[in-house]
């Protein structure tokens, strides 16, 4: 299967200006796709944009993907990042890519093309844990629910895994163990610890740091096994949690 032959036959396809073996197509208003062949001409790097297409940003992504193609295609990491990506007018700081098992760009209409297509998108370093941290389920959930890579105007969606149980509300992650959530969920559960002895919230950031918070007349924060233990006011705790997710 030749990716160039398949892609060049898509309805409305046009050459992407200024890049060899690259294309742009728009199957519906507000929906733009762009792709470029890898150096070996056997793989495709594709960028999707929904209501946020920026030709200059997409060009930078395609060029960076080609330049770093061997790094993106090598190994078995489900989500790969390459630091140092920059584009004027945006705060993104990494080039990110998802393997074919993670995204579903061509899964239905072109299953053979799906097998050789890597989703490429701009990202922020705080959004990605170490590669071996992701199960396939986690990678898919992160890609679809949190990273929203087709939104090229998005703010950071920091990696955040949480495990918790509250003795008062009876809410918790239960048998699921640790789950990926948005920061708002973490902040909400931290607030609910007040007056709930025996409750806890554990959260892990993109660096792999794990923090545990419990209630004992104050919020008690500890980092890892045998780490420093601190009593904190709620405002200070929330500020610490927010900072830990981005820095």
- The confidence score (pLDDT) of residue 226 equals 74
Q: Which residues pair with 204 in a beta bridge?
A: 161, 210
If you write DSSP's letter for every residue of the chain in order, what string do you get? Answer: --HHHHHHTSTT-EEPTTSTTEEEEEEETTEEEEEEE-TTSS-EEEEEEES---HHHHHHHHHHHHHTHHHHHSS--SEEEEET---TT----EEEEE-TTT--SSTTT-HHHHTTEEEEEEE-GGG---GGG--HHHHHHIIIIII-TT-TTPPP----EEEEE-TTT--B-GGG-SEE--HHHHHHHHHHTTT-TT-EEEEE-TT--EEEEEESSSEEEEESTT--EEEE-HHHHHHHHHHHHH-
Average pLDDT over residues 172-186: 93
The Cα-based distances of 129 to 56, 120, 125, 133, 234 in angstroms read: 28, 17, 9, 6, 27
Model pLDDT, residue 23 = 98
- 244 Cα distance to chain centroid: 17
Mean local confidence (pLDDT), 153-173: 97
What value does the mean pLDDT take over residues 80-100? 97
Percent of the chain at pLDDT > 70 equals 100
pLDDT at 177: 86
Question: Is pLDDT at 246 greater than 90 in this prediction?
Answer: yes
Nearest to 208 by CA among 131, 153, 100: 131
Q: Cβ distance 124 to 92 under 8 Å? A: yes
User: Could you count the other beta carbons within 10 Å of the beta carbon of residue 112?
Assistant: 11
Structure confidence at residue 205 as a pLDDT band (50, 70, 90): very high
Region 121-145: mean pLDDT is 96
The pLDDT of 221-235, averaged and rounded, is 90
Question: For position 225, what pLDDT does the model report?
Answer: 74
The reported pTM is: 0.93
pLDDT bracket for residue 128 (50, 70, 90): very high
Question: pLDDT band at residue 31, thresholds of 50, 70 and 90?
Answer: very high
């Amino acid at each position: 299967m030749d990716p160039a032959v398949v892609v060049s036959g898509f309805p409305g396809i046009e050459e992407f200006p200024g890049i060899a073996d690259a294309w742009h197509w728009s199957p519906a208003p507000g929906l733009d796709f762009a792709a470029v062949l890898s150096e070996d001409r056997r793989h495709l790097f594709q960028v999707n944009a929904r209501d946020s297409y920026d030709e200059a940003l997409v060009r930078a992504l395609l060029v960076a993907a080609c330049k770093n193609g061997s790094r993106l295609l090598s190994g078995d990491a489900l989500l790969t990042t390459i630091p140092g990506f920059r584009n004027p007018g945006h705060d993104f700081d990494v080039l990110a890519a998802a393997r074919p098992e993670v995204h579903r760009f061509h899964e239905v209409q072109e299953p053979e093309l799906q097998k050789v297509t890597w989703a490429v998108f701009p990202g922020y370093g705080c959004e990605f844990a170490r590669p071996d941290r992701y199960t396939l389920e986690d990678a898919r959930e992160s890609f679809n629910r949190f990273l929203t890579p087709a939104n090229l105007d998005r703010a950071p969606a920091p990696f955040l895994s949480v495990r918790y149980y509250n003795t008062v509300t009876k809410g918790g992650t239960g048998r699921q163990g640790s789950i990926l959530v948005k920061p708002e969920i973490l902040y909400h559960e931290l607030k609910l610890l007040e007056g709930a002895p025996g409750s806890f919230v554990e959260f892990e950031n993109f660096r792999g740091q794990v923090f545990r918070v419990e209630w004992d007349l104050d919020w008690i924060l500890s980092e890892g096994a045998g780490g420093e233990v601190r009593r904190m006011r709620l405002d200070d705790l929330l500020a610490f949690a927010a900072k830990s997710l981005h820095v």
